[in-house]
């Protein structure tokens, strides 16, 4: 008696196809999320750089002018959003925080009437506090908080800084 071999067909079952599709779908989701997070991190970095550049520039200008000033006018400054001084030439000048915490307006720091910062950065907090020195130089403390006016949500960078400027004694 002859035994015939039964041929078995091997193929891919529906369950195997579903498992493969599920694995590739999960991998696709993970890769897409990592790419989106990378792109979002780049936007936040750009936002942070833009804000830091504006804050550092404005603080640098203020520091140079106040350090070289002949005198601070009214060092008790009850209005901490403004500081007036006499420059090296004897001219009266000032720095002020404009439209800070005003709804719908972009806050900025001004030297006289000119903006020191770009429209893309919103200063949300700003103050100039003058302290008279007893035997030591007087000082001005500048507190600034700024955010990117062009970004929103998680891409928005906020920078807070404090700088103390010791004035020259004349």
DSSP structure string for the chain: -PPPPPPPP----HHHHHHHHHHHHHHHHHHHHHHHHHHHHHHHHHHHHHHHHHHHHHHHHHHHHHHT-SEEE-TT-S-TTEEEEE-TTS-EEEEEEESTT-TTS--EEEETTEESS-TTEEEEEEEEEEE--SSS--EEEEEEEEEESS--GGG--EEEEEEEEEPPP-
- Return the CA Rg of the chain: 31
| CA pair distance 144, 52, nearest whole angstrom | 11
How does pLDDT run across 118-150, given as a tens digit for each residue? 888 888 888 998 888 777 778 889 999 998 887
More confident residue, 27 or 150: 27
* Per-residue pLDDT, 156: 75
pLDDT of residue 170: 47
Q: What is the pLDDT of residues 81-110, one digit of tens each?
A: 888 888 888 889 889 888 887 777 888 888
Q: Is the pLDDT at 5 greater than 70, yes or no?
A: no
pLDDT for the residue 86: 86
The number of C-alpha atoms within 13 Å of 121 and in the hemisphere containing its C-beta is: 28
- The domain limits of the chain are 14-166
Residue 138: what pLDDT?
Answer: 81
* Cβ atoms 159, 55 nearer than 8 A: yes
Q: Rounded CA gap, 35 and 23, in Å? A: 19
CA distance 96 to 84: 9
């Amino acid at each position: 008696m002859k035994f015939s071999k039964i041929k078995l067909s091997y193929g891919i079952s529906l369950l195997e196809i579903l498992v493969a599709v599920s694995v590739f779908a999960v991998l696709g989701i993970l890769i897409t999320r990592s790419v989106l997070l990378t792109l979002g991190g780049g936007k936040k970095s750009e936002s942070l750089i833009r804000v830091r550049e504006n804050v550092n520039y404005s603080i640098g200008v203020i520091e140079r002018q106040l350090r070289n000033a002949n005198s601070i006018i009214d060092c008790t400054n009850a209005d901490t959003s403004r500081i007036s001084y006499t420059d090296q030439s004897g001219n009266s000048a000032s720095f002020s925080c404009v439209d800070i915490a005003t709804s719908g307006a972009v806050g900025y720091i001004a030297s006289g009437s000119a903006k020191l910062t770009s429209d893309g950065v919103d200063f949300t907090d700003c103050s100039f506090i003058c302290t008279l020195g007893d035997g030591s130089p007087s000082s001005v403390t500048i507190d600034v908080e700024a955010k990117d006016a062009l970004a929103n949500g998680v891409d928005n960078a906020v920078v807070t800084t404090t700088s103390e400027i010791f004035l020259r004694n004349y």
